[in-house]
Structure 1
């Protein structure tokens, strides 16, 4: 039906929608009913569906079809994936209506992104690239992730940084074609990987190898704090610390949203840490605390537990004394 947004309630339905022969582009919104930003983006999707009758627009509730969400590494909502001929061609994380509109228009027209076509689009892209470059003191733009590099050069660079105990964050250029093409022009560096320190381009694999050989790499790149020390420091950052998906303002999973509501009703001050922003903390804290899921609540450096424990403490009237460190 032209102008409508389809719903995929199962992995089978999702596959059927991807394989529809009459549509060249399929845009899938991974959403959750508890997230207000998803409701807003559903309205944007509906408007785009009316404009682009040749495109298939699909809503998929991320937590209801976990096998699809896990396959495409959906860790927060809203996330949008773009498919052509059943192959993923682009991705957009977050509630960015203008960017979603641009990507739909570009892919529907069948054109590859051209960085710098149009002044405001170029300025928006450059602002986004600057933000990404400065997202961490040391940023690696690579093919794949540190755990799963998708080219030999990226793998080698990750190995060098790891051997030298460098603290770095990474961005997978395969996840965003606009960033992949735009950064080449922005940095005047035509290949990947690209390493940035303090917002400045260091270079690619060859440059890093030269710096390693000369002994300069250790002076240029920030050292990683030992993970255990870092976790202890984070757990003790505030008397009450909540490790969750998202933030107080925007929870990115149903469990995190529920625990935030309970915490806010206690009137007790607390700080949060978004584990989606830091894969090392996300995985490390599970082992450190011997608690496999999130959210995780700590009081004075001690683990209280997750949502179920917090609910039990609330029911028994013990939550407030625990949060105040009286128990």
Structure 2
């Protein structure tokens, strides 16, 4: 038995590139035999295969691509799927639109600037004194309120619980309580509450609680607290003859001293006020103070209600202000 020599290892590992060889044979048999300047596009080759066009018939198809290249439109026109002049017309249209015609462009002239007219000086508007809104007439309401109950409550809390609540806390809480559900102000337009508006939208008749809210509102009064002696030493302006004489004497002293007199017709004059409560400071004890507020004249009942509630809470119900 004849011995066969073994092949070198590097020869046994070599493989022939069958794809490249087949591609070369296909190209040599198909494309190279035709008169085409460039190889076919893959899409064109696929279309030729679908239409069943063989290699010799490819050279008979008129080309319209750049540099004589065969396009899909040429194949479709050759088979009758599209008109024969479709590809040429489309190429001509594309080449025409590829260049933008700028021959008819004209430079826009700048518009002439209008001559600036001198601005007319605004005429000063003078408002006659008669047309100026007059200041509303105010009323000062004062009421003596004893703080003896509050002071005794402070002393009991200190002895029993060992805590001290400041007097300002009692006054702030009493003011907050007295401002609740006061008679509606007559100087402001009555506005409906949110509940009343909601009921009106739904067509529901107003309830008793909703109807009561239209006659009451919350106030924002903050009383001014003064001692009786200080209050009597500087009484508020009133229409009493004694105060008119005192005002007249004060005006004479001002004239003699050279001080300018305030004009009574000036718009900056303070609002007129009237004193609605009279009392004697000799009848008041040391724990009594004068609580005063200023309200418009139509809201006098509203202010008196506030002071009356404040007095009732501070004198009769100080324990309700602890918590």
- Say which structure, 1 or 2, has more relative contact order (CA 8 Å, 6+ apart): 2
TM-score normalised by length of structure 1: 0.17
Question: Which of 1 and 2 has greater Rg?
Answer: 2
